[in-house]
Structure 1
Amino acid sequence: MPESTQTETVSQVESEIPMLRRYARFLARDVELADDLVQECLARAIARIDSFEPGTNLQGWLIVILRNVFFNECRRAKRERLSLKELGTAAPRELPAQQEDSLMLSELERAFMSLSPDHREILSLIVIEGMTYEQTAEVLGVTMGTIKSRLSRARGSLSALMDYGVPRPYERSKTVADAL
């Protein structure tokens, strides 16, 4: 890749940093760890900038790198027998709601976090980040039909959780304990 094209691509990568930070925070659930993930992602992207093909999906390329960095961190932590909490992926502490909007947002967050990882990821990429179905299918390495069905099921699950309420963690564990 010519140097002028590399320089242009690097400036395009810079414009994607806010999106990478949002996605890293979604994955890590911790601001400091998310910043570390983004930094590592950017270092890898810049080091391999010549492997990026201009005209292809830069955002998708960066998300794949970020996901790989995150999964590598998780595997490393598992090897070192660190819990995810020690890794810094503990859920953010909730504050009591002061207004109706805060309460609704808290309920939405609780419902979102109770979804399966696949459903959370698909909603994050398509609804929050605004990626197209095609881009999402490319990033996740699945077919378009899988994207559409996961998105439909994720929206249905989130809607049902918002309509009927999400059990609190202690209620879920109590139900599991009763089942045993």
Structure 2
Amino acid sequence: MSHSVDLRGELPLYLARLWRYGLVLSRKRDVAEDLVQATCLRALEKSSQFVPGTRLDRWLFTILHSVWINQVRATQLTQQQNIDESDELAFQVSDSDADHLWAQQVRERINRLPEAQRNAVFLVYVEGFTYQEAAETLAVPVGTIMSRLANARQALAKAVVPGVRQTRRRER
């Protein structure tokens, strides 16, 4: 008898995070919802492949990324769409106008990043994955994640928000 996770019971705990990642990948609410649905279906179908004791969120994010890649290959989606204004609720911002404007500017800059950098930024900085976990999720070497993050930080730093002081930090 194998020790298994109650996947049906656990999936609802990850839906919001999966949807948010689907939105980062696709930039469209309806596509994000479809990605989450396909991810849940595939996870349930392949539940025997989940290794108890490992992180379910990483496994689900890996499935979602795989579903996305397969969808992109199948439909040749272009990456020129932007997150609609109605999708702002996916990103929690405070009520102050200055904070809202700042969050909007950051979101716009992140949207202009290449998809590979956007994915790395989301997984590491939003979801809190380690570089190794992000690399495994995206099936790339950890050095690639580090490079993508460095390039993303450099691109984001070039467009400094007025009134925000930029500090230079040496990373080791």
| TM-score interval (norm. to shorter) | 0.7 to 0.9
Structure-2 separation of matches of 1:14 and 1:94: 26
Q: CA RMSD in A?
A: 2.5
1:91 matched to 2:91? The reply is no
Structure-1 separation of matches of 2:155 and 2:68: 26
Structure-1 separation of matches of 2:146 and 2:81: 30
User: TM-score by structure 2 length?
Assistant: 0.76
Q: Does structure 1 retain, via aligned residues, the 8 Å contact 2:27–2:83?
A: yes
Match of 1:5 in 2: 4
Match of 2:67 among 69, 80, 90: 69
Match of 2:47 in 1: 49
Give matches, 1:158-169, under 5 Å: 158-162=156-160
Structure-1 separation of matches of 2:139 and 2:66: 13
Structure-2 separation of matches of 1:94 and 1:11: 33
Structure-2 separation of matches of 1:43 and 1:151: 31
Q: Does structure 1 retain, via aligned residues, the 8 Å contact 2:102–2:161?
A: no
Q: Does structure 2 retain, via aligned residues, the 8 Å contact 1:111–1:158?
A: yes
Structure-2 separation of matches of 1:26 and 1:92: 8
User: TM-score by structure 1 length?
Assistant: 0.73
Distance 1:47 1:93, change over 3 A: closer
Distance 1:45 1:111, change over 3 A: same
Give matches, 1:30-41, under 5 Å: 30-41=28-39
Match of 1:58 in 2: 56
Identity across matched positions, percent: 31
Q: Residue deviations 1:21-78, cap 9 Å, x none?
A: 1101111212122111101110000011011111223222211211121122222223
Give matches, 1:113-132, under 5 Å: 113-132=111-130
The code of the aligned residue for 1:12 comes to E
Structure-2 separation of matches of 1:6 and 1:101: 40
Distance 1:142 1:93, change over 3 A: closer
The unaligned stretches of length 5 or more in structure 1 are 165-180
Give 1:16 shift. 1.8
Q: Does structure 1 retain, via aligned residues, the 8 Å contact 2:43–2:63?
A: yes
Q: Does structure 1 retain, via aligned residues, the 8 Å contact 2:65–2:138?
A: no
The unaligned stretches of length 5 or more in structure 2 are 87-95, 163-172
Rg comparison, structure with higher value: 1
The code of the aligned residue for 2:38 comes to E
Structure-1 separation of matches of 2:73 and 2:20: 22
